[in-house]
Amino acid sequence: MTTNFDGKVALVTGASRGIGRACALKLGALGARVVVNYRTNAGAADDVVAQIKAGGGDAITAQGDVSQAAAAVQVVAAATSAYGRLDILVNNAGITRDGLLATMKEEDFDVIIQQNLKSVFNCSKAAVRQMITQRYGRIVNMTSMAGMIGIAGQTNYSAAKAGIIGFTKAMAKEYGARNIAVNAVAPGLVPTDLTASLPAAVTDGLIRLTAFGRAGTSDEIAEAVVFLASDAASYITGQILAVDGGLT
């Protein structure tokens, strides 16, 4: 697939590592001006920007915990202030805090909903006004196989990611008439910092359930995100694209 993002501005949340980093690098390599959001790891975010610039692209960092509404507004404002528009939003920021339901602390449920689901609400709400003005926008939300089939030990994470699926479908219906597409990617098992805490028995079991018999890569997820963010997907909205090697 040949995709050109020249003239487009993309904001990727949680872009300092893992899948978000892969998305930012790929968008930058294809010509987008990229806003690299991060919460705490400034050094890693700076490295992503440096790599994009080394490839001839343009990028800036934007610090902010987008699970907080005010921070999300500031991050979106940083994008429009720097580049004058915002065409693509990749809602990738998220964390895990796994545990069995019977022993899960209320705080461990609340923080996962806040970081994974509320962040999508915050950033999408902040970005959609600019996209309405432009009469153009592409939003790609990062859900998970956990939101589609549920994962034992992740009731909090599964609930948040399932919420993103409903959010995606509803927002797509609200803003399709404004030429704003809203879709989601549901990755399978991808080795990142986020999945590093999963027990080997769980990851091995998930790999056995895939058709390909292997885990995915961040780059493979980023390819799907880039497709949905591109004009090649101009008649696709409200869809959940599972990129999971056939697991679901």
Residues annotated catalytic, as ranges: 157
Of 201, 177, 180, nearest in space to 189 by CA: 201
Of 184, 121, 186, nearest in space to 147 by CA: 186
What distances in angstroms separate CA 23 from CA 61, 154, 179, 247, one per listed residue? 14, 25, 22, 22
The amino acid at residue 167 is: F
**Cα–Cα distance, 220 to 227 (Å, whole number):** 11
Walk across the sheet containing 88-91 and list its strands: 58-63, 33-38, 9-12, 88-91, 137-142, 180-187, 240-243
**Cα–Cα distance, 23 to 10 (Å, whole number):** 10
Which position has the token pair 């432009």?
Answer: 134
**Cα–Cα distance, 12 to 35 (Å, whole number):** 6
What distances in angstroms separate CA 115 from CA 49, 51, 69, 194, 240, one per listed residue? 24, 27, 11, 13, 20
Instruction: Please provide residue 34's backbone torsions phi and psi, each rounded to the nearest 5 degrees.
Output: -115, 130
